Structure 1
Amino acid sequence: MKKQSLMIAGIAAILCLTACDIKDPQQKSSQIKSDQIKSNVVPEGFKKIITVAKKGDEIVIPFTKYQLDNGLTVILHPDNSDPLVHVDVTYHVGSGREEPGKSGFAHFFEHMMFQGSENVADEQHFGLITESGGTLNGSTNTDRTNYYETVPSNQLERMLWLESDRMGFFLDAVTKEKFENQRETVKNERGQNYDNRPYGLLRERVGEALFPEGHPYSWSTIGYIEDLNRADLNDLKKFFLRWYGPNNATLTIGGDMDETQTLAWVKKYFGGIPRGPEVIQPEYTAVTLKQDRYISMEDNVSLPLVYMSFPTVHANHPDEAPLDVLMSILGSGKTSLLYKNLVKNGKSVQASANHGCGELSCQFTLLALPTPGNSLSELETIIRASLDEFESKGGATDDDIERVKAGIVSGMVYGLESVSGKVSQLAAYQTYRNNPNAIGEDVARYENVSQDDVMRVYKKYIKDKYAVIMSIVPNGQGDKIAKPDTWKRYDRAIPDSTEDDSLVLRPGTSDFDRSVVPVSGKNPSVRAPDIYKLTTKTGIKILGTVNDEVPTTTIRLRVPAGQTRESIDKLGLASLTAAMLSEATKKSSAEDLSNHLQKLGSSVDFSTDNKFTTINIRTLTKNLDETLAVAIEQLTQPKFDEADFKRLQKQQIEGLKTAKKNAATTATEVFNKLVFGSDNSFAYADNGIISTLEKLSLKDVIEFYSANYGPSNADVIVVSNLAENEISKSLKTLDVWQGKSSPMPAINPFPELQAGTLYFIDKPEAAQSEIRIGKRALKYDSVGEYYRADLMNYNLGGAFNSRINLNLREDKGYTYGARSFFYGNDFYGFYRAQAGVRADTTADSIVQFRNEISAFGAQGLTVKELEFVKSAIGQRDARNYETPRQKLSFLSEIMTYNLDKGFVDKQNEILEKVSIEELSGLAAKHLKLDEMITVVVGDKATIMESLQPMFKNIVELDEEGKPL
């Protein structure tokens, strides 16, 4: 529900929105009403509602909408461009349907629905989909819960069997044991993502203050721990009976399918599920405040934060679109007022605006984090002055309106790049508007926003209106809040539970044996993308493929100017240099460049990793040449302004301070330094360390750029709807690029691992501990032992239903997720098992990790596990080449390691022939605990005593990994 900058994220934000005004779809030129469709094409039990087809260049997702007799809405979107299907079941229930004292139920059910049903065994849901080469998940927000999977097209019937069984045959399979296990998992999730994350409680506290007590938006989607603790199995069952009927659900299927067969399967599996209670739409009630409410909290953060939240309208309200435009003007990107008044002048490391919307309410928010030396009260004053400035300068400009419109249209096109994206859009529009074909409506409502509209909503909802203003300050610094609190958290009133006699079990019926897992169809034929190779006049290698499904172009330009080019005394220099390239050039200001890109609906982003600085370019193909011109200008003509350098240096330092508050980040970084040595730059975080960053100068940046930012050894990867010759013509603009490059530096010898040692970093009062267990391992090899080792680990820690995750998450409830993996590139590799676990389970979690790794190393795989990995890995290629991003990853692997396209065929041949003896032998070879170290970040006072008997050698380190 969080709305990002429309200029960058485009429609991705809009499509997450909800609306409580539900209307019948209007007939348009591309729509055919159900009475115009021949009745003989509608299967028995269905009513065809509408068909939408694409005409010309309009932005539309073709579909047909049906309704099953039991009220289930069914939307089909055929798309045979890739041999896969995406299935989404969206229930119109989120935390906004919950009652006071019963928060978190919708999210709890998201977890419970993966725990098996009458005919689906525990873990079988994950097992079948993973074994099919698919991926799956679920999500909950204030207004809906959805479950989705992307699988090879031959698995569609199985997916419908799985989804229907948990819709209609679920409750009798729910046990007290499953209930308690998932309650612990949800509590771990809350600990990891809310209670123990810096600023994690921000929106929960603001919601309490903004909405009246008892309003369902006054609590977070995950709910309160005390409500979860108080809930019993009967409470959850009643919630399911109330909201999870087919008449409150939308089944959306997109991809490579036979529509007639698909409808027959839908009728077979869903037709016998009875309707649930009737569901009325949520009722919007305006939220008002009689005065500003100042609230505050201390938290384990490095920087204070001030956050202002104004109540506005609800999703799909006529004023939502102009409020979004106002949001962009005030706080989205380098063209915004908050950027100019807070970030550009170095007063804040971050400042932004947002307009998050739900069915019951929207919030217009403004946020800022000060640089050291600036106070929250000063930032609040500047934010309020920025609002006044907007009005005094006449409000929105033509440029502002143009940027928003460009962002919307381009975002819609980008959303068509995957079948999952199209299905998600159809499902959301149906759920919130009863009209899957609402893309055109969204385009129209934003294109019709005028300058007068923006000023009108500013005066109506923001000017001189009251807000919730929250301060979050570091622990022990309560005197640094913006203003003293004027509102106190209340003790929640928990109403007595009431019985609803209408909520009775609704047993489904079937005329077939549901216990039989449907047989998969014939495996689809999967072919890696065709590839072309080019070389520019200056020797830059280009690797590309044509993706003609959408008129977009994505380019990845890689320069060998990554972290390995840094010296240890200048860590963070590569990252800082890349950041400087996003600022002003010798010809243009950063604001002008940003404005130009946003009006094109394009993005140009610079980032660094171990070896490369990467320029990621994304654009509508019609704007390719203009976008490339901006990217080349940034790459070849940086201004390197001292003020920009100082500001970015401060931001990077503050970012590192914030990262230190994250136990997971600390654990991983310390592990890397222990394994690869503190004298190798790549062992550190990409953005360096504070002590070296503080000493860097603009001269260092200029020298690094001069030494490394040349075309020699650079490469380009392209995915576009343009043909090879057209791409070649556009990329001639690279011929102007000149400069030097440096050779790959020598890698320093790795340290001898003190195997068996526990390295401990104290994080006082941490409710969770981060565990890392591992060692150095294999470098990358596409068809060698590295590839085979990855196959070996898949059942141990690579899949959701791996031994490690099933043990620690599903069986024990210790963690939100646990895994193990091999990672390697061309100059180093490692094996690592890891998890964030509840603090009181730290010692036993390490025991469980050890037991699983040892047993796997000693005994190897089972026959069933060998079959599983062969099936799962063998079929997942069907979803490996769908989107431009996936194609870029495939081409990047080929480019980085000088592979030929046939390496995929060789991998498949290895997979088909690999034996249980070979993989078990690799397990015995690589999974030796006596070669591994253990890193734990946690509360010493709570857990050290339980760890001491397990380790002969314990070394305590600080957050930098230095011995205490």
Structure 2
Amino acid sequence: MAEVTLPTGVNFVEQVMAAAGKTVIPYQKYTLSNGLTVILHQDASDPLVHVDMTYHVGSAREELGKSGFAHFFEHMMFQGSENVADEQHFKLITEAGGTLNGTTNGDRTNYFQTVPANQLEKMLWLESDRMGFLVDAVTQEKFEVQRETVKNERGQSYDNRPYGLLGERVAEALYPAGHPYSWQTIGYLEDLDRVNVNDLKAFFLKWYGPNNATLTIGGDIDAKETLALVEQYFGSIPRGPEIAMPEKPTFTINEDRYISMEDNVHLPLVYMSYPTVSVRHADEAPLDVLSSILGGGKTSLLYKNLVKNQLAVQASVGHPCAELACTFTLLALPHPASGKTLADIEKVIRDSLVEFEERGVEDDDLAKVKASMEASFIFGLQSVSGKVSTLAANQTFKGDPNYIEKDIARYANVTKADVMRVFKKYIKGQHGVIMSIVPKGKLDLIAAQDNFIPAPRSKGQASKTSAESLVVRKASDNFDRSKMPTSGANKSVAVPQMWNKTLANGIKVLGTQSIETPTTSLLLKIPAGHYYSEKDKAGVVSLLASALNESTTKRSAEEMSNELQKLGSSIAIYAGNQYLNINVSTLTKNLDATMVLVNEKLMHPAFIEAEFSRNKSNAIQGAINSKKDAGYLASTAYRQLLQADNIAATSSQGTEQSLNNITLADVKAFYQQQVKPSDSQLIVVSDLKEKALIKSLNVFSTWQGKGTSLVLTLAKPETKAGVIYLVNKEGAAQSAIRIGKRSMTQDIVGEYYKSYLMNFTLGGAFNSRINLNLREDKGYTYGARSGFSADKFSGTFTASAEVRADVTDKSIVEFVSEIKGYREQGITAEELSFMRNSINQRDALKYETPRAKLGFLAQILEYDLKPSFVQERAEIVETISAEEINELAKKHLNLAEMLMVVVGDAKTLKPQLKALGYEVIDYEI
């Protein structure tokens, strides 16, 4: 470290270098005198940086009766600080061409942003200002708005979602009253309603000091310059109080605890949860292996005993782990046709545990988990954000950023005896919580009568925090923190170097080399998508995709799954509107073995009647179950209303009726007609060069033929505009809103792209007019947006949100006001500048990962583009005038041409919506 002169106040801790043959993220670790841990990872492969600030505080650090504070503060940290104006955090990063977010769990809260490298100083200014200068900027008004936003998030993600309260109810029953994990991160509404703004400030002052935080910076950085900036912006922030981490409470469950609830669901569910250890405990890895044997895919016991024989639509096993505790969970949803109750399913699960003990642990069980772990760690290194978040998490929870090798070793060293030992210690003969969720009025389906009621939840101390009791820490700087740093020129970003080739059988290949990780990613797009099928048999391509994921004529589905898991590879086959897609991810050392399996799936499907019957039946149940979700109902109704009676009016997943129409012969016939190589598109991103890759692609050489060409005209329907179509969802806590119309088909540098630029201000960014109004100003929703969506055949303009049920009518008024106002008054000069900066500085993020490169190259191949289209778009962004944007707004945002779909409690909503002056038409899916 002699070459780096450290700024005053920065202390060097350690440096870890890359090592041949080892999975290591190189880094340098430092501390500031105020206790802030700083980790730097240099990676000049792309001109971008990722900044992660992780605080070692989550919902498990909250006081009784004050649940949800950690998550609440995640929201408040984006609301401006003393030197950053309200709503500016999102705006500044978006304008810089970056992305950002924050997440909270039981044990940590992290804030992160990925931006062009020239924006690093601005990011450090933003992060330091909310660490050291937030409290006095937290106003009662911001507090109230974000409290409503959090309530909306709870409504959308928990209360209004099928099975959404499962985790909350199980945690209440599993953990003792007052255990840090006995409540969910989102918190309870009554706690959020009871506290005041000073309670929230006190929580911040206790936990959000630099000595309880890790700042991790990765990417195209200079270590010396970065350390100087870190010391400048963070060094003056005083330490917070010294906080001891909570103990890991031990507890025992002396008998099985049966609990149940009725929910607005189609299928009942049984969920069994057993307490085990804590994260990175010596027994965590063998418990993970056990969960894989019992419920990890088609080779697992629960799949064999429940799903394959159609006793259940779904069954899975997991071992989620956290800092203070882990749980071993088993879940199943019985198939209605099986006639099985949850008690029957529970017995099958318990019998499967007995079967496991008799079966024992096989060599492949260990090989699969070890291969999966190796692959997941390596794939996690494909992005700078992945590497930074790994370093940050390892430092936060282990005090050691360099933990990947130890993690890999934990799983590599698991023995058969370890797995049997943990089974006998934590599962066999042990007690847990058995939760039944059943459709309303179907309590007769529960696994057993409830025998447990959680102890009353403590509300904690009734007193509220006063402003006078807060001890606010103030930083003293030798520079003017109120001045936002300026940024240098954005570094140029090179479009990936590409090669292309057409194989002898007609597959068009476009590839690029990416040498950061020894991995290969492929996307094969076969012109055999949903649009090639008939409306009365919608879903046939989805069922074909399911069949291709089953047995081949050479291997059973279980054998295929076993081989893939031992390679640590994945082959995902799924239906799109235009294409049947095959997405492949593999370590390059296993590419040839994986491609043999890809080719086998494509060329030699077995089309077994029993497998087809199971997949069809499960798809039908999925279609029925989806109708319990407000978002699904809204999107389905909207799609049907915007399309005439044609294939585009249906989802590629099909409907209950269309799926019932499909036979195995239909699937075979579609396969024979359409799954051909000619005109297929193959996109490849690999660390291999072109010559080596082409050799691996020779596996497709015997695949021949050309499918039927697609001739499709999607006529516009006679649907009435200017009205509200109301879909009833009785008792819904939230309403789903869709407002829009049919619009343009997609183009790359024409009116469709320019209209995307036009909409950016209205509803295309966090700081758009619609989102700032409905979420940030009114607190009506967790998020609201608008945008254009299209393919080569049709397109739509849609504004949408999930809003609190009691403000459905008010939300529509605000949507209409924003769309109408933008159309009539146009874009401001400030908004035009914001849009230009935001979009034209994003290039560094477009091509970073293999996944990003796949998407970019896929667009080039599908639309036969030259790489210069990137520059053409940049010039459009730079030169499009306010007048042109305003003309596009006038043309495409005419509310008189739009219809509205609202999904919610019709009995309550109908009179309210009529009172707005709209014709309200009842609509059924």
Q: TM-score, normalised by structure 2?
A: 0.98
Q: Distance in 1 between matches of 2:33 and 2:592?
A: 52
Quick one: which of 429, 442, 451 aligns to 1:464? Answer: 429
Q: Distance in 1 between matches of 2:199 and 2:622?
A: 43
- Correspondences of 1:832-843 after superposition (within 5 Å): 832-843=798-809
Q: Distance in 1 between matches of 2:463 and 2:77?
A: 25
Structure 2 partner of 1:75: 39
Quick one: which of 266, 274, 277 aligns to 1:313? Answer: 277
- Correspondences of 1:645-724 after superposition (within 5 Å): 645-677=612-644, 679-724=645-690
Gap change, CA 1:219 and 1:59, over 3 Å in 2: same
Q: Distance in 2 between matches of 1:356 and 1:661?
A: 27
Residue 233 (1) aligns with residue 197 (2): yes
Quick one: which of 412, 436, 455 aligns to 1:447? Answer: 412
Gap change, CA 1:570 and 1:951, over 3 Å in 2: farther
Q: Distance in 2 between matches of 1:240 and 1:51?
A: 32
Following superposition, the deviation at residue 503 of structure 1 comes to: 5.8
- Correspondences of 1:818-897 after superposition (within 5 Å): 818-897=784-863
Structure 2 partner of 1:300: 264
Q: Which SS does the other structure have where 1:831 is aligned?
A: strand
Structure 1 partner of 2:517: 550
Structure 1 partner of 2:390: 425
Q: Which SS does the other structure have where 2:407 is aligned?
A: helix
Amino acid corresponding to residue 404 of structure 1 in structure 2: V
- Bigger mean CA offset, 741-750 vs 335-344: 741-750
Structure 1 partner of 2:779: 813
Amino acid corresponding to residue 588 of structure 1 in structure 2: R
Amino acid corresponding to residue 880 of structure 2 in structure 1: V
Q: Which SS does the other structure have where 1:133 is aligned?
A: coil
Structure 2 partner of 1:574: 541
Q: Distance in 2 between matches of 1:340 and 1:44?
A: 63
Q: Distance in 1 between matches of 2:12 and 2:580?
A: 52
Quick one: which of 356, 360, 376 aligns to 1:390? Answer: 356
Amino acid corresponding to residue 505 of structure 1 in structure 2: V
Q: Which SS does the other structure have where 1:382 is aligned?
A: helix
Quick one: which of 602, 616, 634 aligns to 2:583? Answer: 616
Q: Could you tell me the percent identity over the aligned residues?
A: 57
Q: Which SS does the other structure have where 1:770 is aligned?
A: strand
- Bigger mean CA offset, 563-572 vs 801-810: 563-572
Q: Distance in 2 between matches of 1:286 and 1:629?
A: 49
Following superposition, the deviation at residue 740 of structure 1 comes to: 4.6
Amino acid corresponding to residue 486 of structure 1 in structure 2: N
Structure 2 partner of 1:352: 316
Residue 643 (1) aligns with residue 610 (2): yes
Quick one: which of 904, 919, 925 aligns to 1:953? Answer: 919
Q: Distance in 2 between matches of 1:701 and 1:895?
A: 28
State the number of aligned residues: 921
Q: Distance in 1 between matches of 2:707 and 2:342?
A: 44
Following superposition, the deviation at residue 739 of structure 1 comes to: 4.4
**Alignment check: 8 A CA contact 2:679 2:706 kept:** no
Q: Distance in 1 between matches of 2:625 and 2:483?
A: 52
Following superposition, the deviation at residue 628 of structure 1 comes to: 0.5
Gap change, CA 1:40 and 1:691, over 3 Å in 2: closer
**Alignment check: 8 A CA contact 1:783 1:907 kept:** yes
Structure 2 partner of 1:23: none
- Correspondences of 1:114-133 after superposition (within 5 Å): 114-133=78-97
Q: Distance in 1 between matches of 2:462 and 2:29?
A: 39
Q: Distance in 2 between matches of 1:895 and 1:347?
A: 44
Q: Which SS does the other structure have where 1:218 is aligned?
A: coil
Residue 170 (1) aligns with residue 137 (2): no
**Alignment check: 8 A CA contact 1:680 1:747 kept:** no
Following superposition, the deviation at residue 356 of structure 1 comes to: 0.7
**Alignment check: 8 A CA contact 2:681 2:862 kept:** no
- Cα deviation per residue 1:654-710 (whole Å; 9 max; x = unaligned)? 111121111111111111111112x22122122100011112111111111111111
Amino acid corresponding to residue 148 of structure 1 in structure 2: F
Following superposition, the deviation at residue 502 of structure 1 comes to: 8.9
Q: Distance in 1 between matches of 2:252 and 2:328?
A: 13
- Correspondences of 1:175-574 after superposition (within 5 Å): 175-372=139-336, 373-393=339-359, 395-497=360-462, 504-574=471-541
Gap change, CA 1:489 and 1:143, over 3 Å in 2: same
Following superposition, the deviation at residue 100 of structure 1 comes to: 1.3
- Cα deviation per residue 1:525-550 (whole Å; 9 max; x = unaligned)? 11211111111111110011111111
Q: Which SS does the other structure have where 1:41 is aligned?
A: coil
**Alignment check: 8 A CA contact 2:521 2:583 kept:** yes
Structure 1 partner of 2:567: 600
Following superposition, the deviation at residue 39 of structure 1 comes to: 9.0
- Cα deviation per residue 1:315-340 (whole Å; 9 max; x = unaligned)? 11111111111011111111111111
Q: Distance in 2 between matches of 1:40 and 1:93?
A: 33
Q: Distance in 2 between matches of 1:297 and 1:565?
A: 43
Q: Distance in 2 between matches of 1:908 and 1:416?
A: 30
Gaps of 5+ in 2: none
**Alignment check: 8 A CA contact 1:282 1:359 kept:** no
Q: Which SS does the other structure have where 1:937 is aligned?
A: strand
**Alignment check: 8 A CA contact 1:242 1:503 kept:** no
Amino acid corresponding to residue 666 of structure 1 in structure 2: L
- Cα deviation per residue 1:907-943 (whole Å; 9 max; x = unaligned)? 0111111111111111111111111001100111222
Structure 1 partner of 2:723: 757
Q: Distance in 2 between matches of 1:287 and 1:356?
A: 18
Q: Distance in 2 between matches of 1:313 and 1:177?
A: 43
Structure 2 partner of 1:799: 765
Following superposition, the deviation at residue 286 of structure 1 comes to: 2.2
Following superposition, the deviation at residue 477 of structure 1 comes to: 0.7
Following superposition, the deviation at residue 499 of structure 1 comes to: 8.5
**Alignment check: 8 A CA contact 1:53 1:62 kept:** yes
Residue 745 (1) aligns with residue 704 (2): no
Amino acid corresponding to residue 764 of structure 2 in structure 1: G
**Alignment check: 8 A CA contact 2:177 2:456 kept:** no
Q: Distance in 1 between matches of 2:748 and 2:96?
A: 22
Q: Distance in 1 between matches of 2:495 and 2:719?
A: 41
Q: Distance in 2 between matches of 1:474 and 1:563?
A: 32
**Alignment check: 8 A CA contact 2:49 2:220 kept:** yes
Amino acid corresponding to residue 678 of structure 2 in structure 1: S
Q: Distance in 2 between matches of 1:135 and 1:746?
A: 38
**Alignment check: 8 A CA contact 2:177 2:454 kept:** no
Following superposition, the deviation at residue 148 of structure 1 comes to: 0.4
Q: Distance in 2 between matches of 1:626 and 1:682?
A: 38
